[in-house]
Structure 1
Amino acid sequence: MAEVLSGTTGHRRRALSAGALHKLSALLTLAALIVVFSFGNDAFFSVNNGLTVLLQTAVIGLLGIGMTVVIITGGIDLSVGSVLALAGVVAGLLVKAGIPVVPAMMLGVASGTLCGLVNGFVITRMRITPFVATLGMMMIARGIALQVTGAAPISRLGEAFGVLGNGALFRILEMGDNGFPRVIFPGIPYPAILLLVMALAGAYLLRQRQVGRHIYAVGSNEEAARLAGVNVARTKIEAYAMSGTLAGLSGVVLMSRLVTAQPNEGVMYELDAIAAAVIGGASLMGGVGNISGTMIGAFIIGVLRNGLNMAGVSSFIQQILIGVVVIAAVYIDQVRNRR
């Protein structure tokens, strides 16, 4: 058993070394994008645009953290976009029913956790492949969100509902001569702070806690992990529960930004989350990945989309470019695995 564990540890050390190189290349890519877009538009480096990038990246980053955990186990979660919508709808409906905002949002996140637990149960107990299981949950969650709302947005949720998505720490306002407040310092957006907290928590869990070591072991060699005494089924369920929780949290943050619960939100967001993880160095073969790399990947997508929007590039071309970036990242990962 000691030999099994040492073999898994050796694989992880080699993966970490290769991952560091991949992370460095992703960081250089991010820096290059920032330089290119800053030359193309003077407003790119403005404070307001920086805050816009942070807000846009927060949702992708939160989804990416959960997706990274799942990918490390050797799985995939295609349901996060639909779970995002369902969690936001649950929170919105509860607020409309008279429940205070904070408990309503917590229950929205809990609905995401429940979806993740169901994914984990179907994959481990019913032995259905992650692709099919999460594809089914993607349709189920989206269908529930559309059914309970009649496919219509839930609006008039109140000012308090928008605080999480639109509020900021250390924001400084001054009353102008016209009687309207003027922003002196926009502050640090709450979604960006939440992303930082979740990223630090995710990195700590993967690096320092036993469940993190089990997640890497399952992804590196599931049979070896089982022989070493790892409860593989429980580890996978925990991973998908984390992904569902973060998808639920993303949904609450996004709907709070809109101050409206939209059952059609989150379409294709699962691909952004997968792209962020893969660009950041996570291997679709399992056993490799880290949260810091995923954060770099999320910001690459955020900066790329923002810069292309400012350049007037259509959303269809943006999809093509991001698809090319994902294919290139997966190809690099395959080359790395062969070596």
Structure 2
Amino acid sequence: MTDQQKEMLRKIASLAGLLLLVLVFSFTNEYFFTVNNILTVGLQTSTITLIGIGATVVILTGGIDLSTGSVVALSGVAAAMVVNAGVPVPLGIMFGVIVGGLCGFTNGIVVTVLRLPPFIATLGMMMVARGLALYITNAAPVSGMPESFGELGNGALFRVVEEGANGFPIVKFPGIPYPVIIMIFVVILFAFALSKLKTGRYIYAIGSNEEAARLSGIKTNKVKNYAYIASGLLSGLAGVILASRLITAQPNGGIAYELDAIASAVVGGTSLSGGIGTIPGTLIGSFIIGVLRNGLNMNGVSAFVQQIIIGLVIIVTVALDQLRQVKKTKKTQPTQKQEKLK
């Protein structure tokens, strides 16, 4: 079996796992497979997918980004504060995304120029971004934004509302939430970039063998910077969407989101050793986590038990990936007999 066939098999296995979850929860709860709940799952999963794509791009280079959750909080707070200061809502949202991008750029510089391990660099940014969010808000939620600030997170395309006999509005179709539309656009954009653009191929090359990539003429530091900036921008986008959904920016928000991001990437087939993974795989991984949470909630399973289940899913997925890597290494390394013959 070729590597491409194995990769396709992994994707099919992930998709089959997702479909199995949907089937099981559809039987256990009659309200699970309804239009409203499907759209709810899409809305809840959209932010996981966005940060998961950022995590995927970084992991593909052989790095890691632990600052995601803190950057989500800082970006949401930054957007809300400038909007309250009188900046138009679209510009405020853009500012929040840029703040996330600057955090990602800083991560990239620390990793590539100062040569700090990605784990340490992004761990430091996690603390810095969280501290900034708490400091500039005095650890208090930011509220009082205009209603238009909530349009991004709560608006929907094709929403159908009719006036009832009593004069109250009746929602015939809730519409496709804007965050879901943004998620679809980002998935298509990054899937195209990683598979068709030079930078995408360079990211895979660096993750597979950074030294070989450097010797072949790839500007590895520059490409790795792009990866961290992308992760920061997507975290910033997720942050402003969450703030918009609540019409409140929480400096304590986004806690443990970095774990969701990494989990969605890993469950979707991205290898923590770098060089292996796809954006569609991360999308499937995000929905596996989203469907698990939604289905378990609807069946009254404790939040603590949910953490245990999702944690076990991650452990099993990573363990399988490590076994795959060991088998691959054994195949590529010459045996002792071959070495002697040489």
TM norm. shorter chain > 0.5 = yes
Report the Cα offset of residue 15 of structure 1: 5.0
Cα offsets for 1:142-201 (capped at 9, x unmatched): 110011111111112121011011111111111122222111111111000000000000
Counterpart residue type for residue 307 of structure 1 = G
Residue 237 of structure 1: CA displacement? 0.5
Match of 1:170 among 154, 158, 169: 158
1:261 aligned onto 2:249: yes
Structure 1 CA distance for aligned equivalents of residues 137 and 307 of structure 2: 29
Deviations 1:100-124 (A, max 9, x none): 1100000000000000000000000
CA shift, 1:19, in A, is 2.5
Q: TM-score, normalised by structure 1?
A: 0.95
Q: Which residue of 1 aligns with 2:296?
A: 308
Task: Look up the match of 1:103.
Answer: 91
8 Å contact 1:15–1:288 — kept in the other structure? no
Q: 1:50-129 maps to which residues of 2 (within 5 A)?
A: 50-129=38-117
Equivalents in 1 of 2:2, 2:84: separation in Å? 52
CA distance in 2, matches of 1:72, 1:294: 12
Tell me the equivalent position of 2:191: 203
Measured in 1, the distance between the counterparts of 2:243 and 2:60 equals 29
Cα deviation for residue 208 of structure 1 reads 0.5
- 1:28 corresponds, among 7, 10, 16, to 16
C-alpha offsets along residues 232-282 of structure 1, whole Å, 9 cap, x if unaligned? 100110000000000000001111111111111110011011010001110
| Contact 1:94-1:104 within 8 A present in 2 as well | yes
> Where do residues 228-247 of structure 1 align in structure 2 (5 Å cutoff)?
228-247=216-235
In structure 2, runs of 5+ residues without a counterpart are 328-342
Q: Distance in 1 between matches of 2:113 and 2:15?
A: 39
Aligned to 1:5: none
| Partner Cα separation in structure 2 for residue 228 and residue 193 of structure 1 | 39
Q: Letter of the 1:269 partner, please give it.
A: Y
Asked whether the equivalents of residues 112 and 248 of structure 1 are also in contact (C-alpha less than 8 Å), the reply is yes
Amino acid at match of 2:304: F
Say which SS state the counterpart of residue 132 (structure 1) adopts: helix
Change (3 A) 1:272 1:14: farther
> Which residue of structure 1 aligns with residue 6 of structure 2?
18
Does residue 330 (structure 1) correspond to residue 288 (structure 2)? The answer is: no
- Equivalents in 2 of 1:58, 1:26: separation in Å? 18
Q: Which residue of 2 aligns with 1:4?
A: none
CA distance in 2, matches of 1:274, 1:86: 19
Compute the displacement of 1:314 (Å): 1.2
**Are residues 314 and 139 of structure 1, via their aligned partners in 2, closer, same or farther at CA, if it must alter by over 3 Å?**
same
Superposed displacement of residue 16, structure 1: 4.2
Q: Supply the distance in 1 between the matched residues of 2:90 and 2:3 (Cα, whole angstroms).
A: 41
| Partner residue in 2 for 1:137 | 125
- Unaligned 5+ segments in structure 1 are 1-12
Whether the 8 Å CA contact 1:171–1:187 is kept in 2: the answer is yes
Summarize the Cα distance change of 1:265–1:124 in structure 2 as closer, same or farther, 3 Å threshold.
Answer: same
* 1:297 Cα deviation after fit: 0.1
| Letter matched to residue 41 of structure 1 | N
What is aligned with 2:332? none
Q: Secondary structure at the match of 2:31?
A: helix
Aligned partner letter, 1:276: S
* Alpha-carbon distance in structure 2 between the residues aligned to 1:143 and 1:315: 27
8 Å contact 1:16–1:288 — kept in the other structure? no
Match of 2:146 in 1: 158
Max radius of gyration: which structure? 2
Whether 1:193 and 2:181 are equivalent positions in the alignment is yes
User: Partners in 1 of 2:165 and 2:106 — Cα distance?
Assistant: 56
Residues 83 and 247, structure 1, Cα contact 8 Å, conserved in 2: yes
Count how many residue pairs are aligned between Structure 1 and Structure 2. Answer: 327
Displacement of 1:338 in angstroms is 1.6
CA distance in 1, matches of 2:300, 2:86: 43
Question: Partners of 1:257 and 1:95 in 2: how far apart?
Answer: 15
Encode CA deviations 1:7-36: one digit per residue, 9 max, x unaligned.
xxxxxx965443222111111110111111
Residue aligned with 1:184, SS: strand
Name the CA distance, whole Å, in 2 between partners of 1:187 and 1:171. Answer: 4
1:324 and 1:17 mapped to 2: Cα distance? 27
Structure 1 distance, partners of 2:310, 2:28, is 19
- Change in CA separation of 1:335 and 1:89 when aligned onto 2, cut-off 3 Å: same
Letter in 2 for 1:337: Q
AA in 1 matched with 2:197: R
Structure 2 CA distance, aligned partners of 1:332 and 1:62? 25
Distance 1:24 1:274 in 2: 20
> Following the alignment from structure 2 to structure 1, what is the Cα–Cα distance between the partners of residues 170 and 147?
19
